[in-house]
Amino acid sequence: MAIRVNHRLTARGLRPQIERLFALSAGKILELERTWNPAHGAPVFTVNGRYTARGWTDWTQGFQHGSALLQFDATGDPRFLQLGRRGTIEHMAGHVSHTGVHDHGFNNISTYGNLWRLMREGRLARDERERDFYELALKVSGAVQAARWTRRLDGGYLHSFNGPHSLFIDTMRSLRSLAVAHQLGHVLLAEQDQRVSLLQRLVEHAETTARYNIYYGEGRDLYDVCGRVAQEAIFNVASGHYRCPSTQQGYSPFSTWTRGLAWAVTGFAEQLEFLATLPEAELAAVLAPDAKPGCGRRVTKARRTGPRETETPTRTPDQVDRMFLRAATATGDYYLAVACANGIPMWDTGAPNLHRLGDYGNKPADPFNRWEPVDSSAAAVAAQGLIRLGNYLCRRRQRRRGICYRQAGLTIAHTLFAEPYLATDTRHQGLILHSVYHRPNGWDRGPPGQRVPNGESSLWGDYHARELALLILREARGEPYPTFY
């Protein structure tokens, strides 16, 4: 089972599909804006083609207003700039100072970040006060996110909303908030005015994630397959020791929830792009053994339950880059191995009824099958990461390897931007169909009489499909590479 990569696809060749996507997208954004009541919270996923809320956290609100900004970016239609800017100002301030979540990169980079990026690119009229407003929000957001910190024996991590014991793979995508705030010259001020480097926290979180949430076929457990991802790593906060893998939205701690896999691919790929913008001395300064805070402490001997925990070693920028690249390529390769032939994955690699689907991996994914759902949102997230990883490798003169990842990303985009995944029915508020949110909790819906959810959309899936489409469209037009760094 493996994706069948189409090596003939080009960004220019996908342009008609992308223009069709954004033509459909316009009406769906306007319809959601017309019908949605902000008092209900944030729209999360569709039921019978209409967006609904789900009271977990409002982690998708930035995708609603950020989608309008991406639509403006792609089409130049000023209505969507107005919608995105107004939605950001009226609804996003609380997310900037939200201390209880790990999703600042989702909410605040998608809104304040996109507005700031557009102004830097000259797409918005230059207004120093407006730019200062966006930059202040991004600085505060990065610092607030960095304050959600669990220090441990050999580094630390930004803990999830489950508590200080919990490290989510999802948070790799939120490191964007720390990267942008650091880039703007900001630090976190802690007790006794201690200045905490946001760059150091970003690096330590990514290192901890690479060590404990990602597997490399090194015998950590019986199910250690290179590239496998655990959504959650659990730590003993009293001793600092790693305890076990876990999952919230996947089937099992010992299988891979494919959206978590996608967060890893894209999170590490984008952070590789960020590290490449830094002067070597700037990164080396936070890797020094006497850098404070966050340097590790030597541990006492204990029974090993995961990767060996030792005193934080002296690292070089090159070693950090190699660690990030190893995580990105391991997860990228695993995604390519477990996705169906057209690039769309099943929702979890260990889903209990996959065996009933026969040789499903060597055929295009069937979202209407009777046994297990696919997850188009995982594909939308992963495709961007594969393209960014490929571009990074091409710039590093690893062209053959880089082109393979790029073409895989374009192959997935080609699948997503056509039926049965593209929602061409204008009555449906979603853009990309066949997304899955929380299968274990039974939150997903499907047509009456069908056991397996299908035909519905998610706001994160729609947003990341737009972000993917914009990335490819800009290349097709010869426009600047979309990045926050």
| Domains of the chain by residue range | 1-91+339-485, 101-306
pLDDT value at residue 295: 38
Largest CA distance in the chain: 62
DSSP helix/strand/coil, 413 = helix
pLDDT value at residue 235: 97
Tokens describing residue 76: 């130049």
DSSP 8-state symbol, 167:
E
pLDDT value at residue 288: 82
DSSP helix/strand/coil, 341 = coil
Question: Which fold does the domain 101-306 belong to in CATH?
Answer: Glycosyltransferase (1.50.10)
What does R_g of the chain's alpha carbons equal in angstroms? 21
Tokens describing residue 451: 């056991």
In the chain, which residues have pLDDT < 70? 1, 55, 289-314
Strand-pair partners of 173: none
Q: How many CB atoms within 10 Å of residue 388?
A: 26
Task: Kindly report the pTM of this predicted structure.
Answer: 0.95
Q: CB neighbours of 72 closer than 8 A, spacing ≥ 6?
A: 78, 80, 81, 84, 118
DSSP 8-state symbol, 109:
I
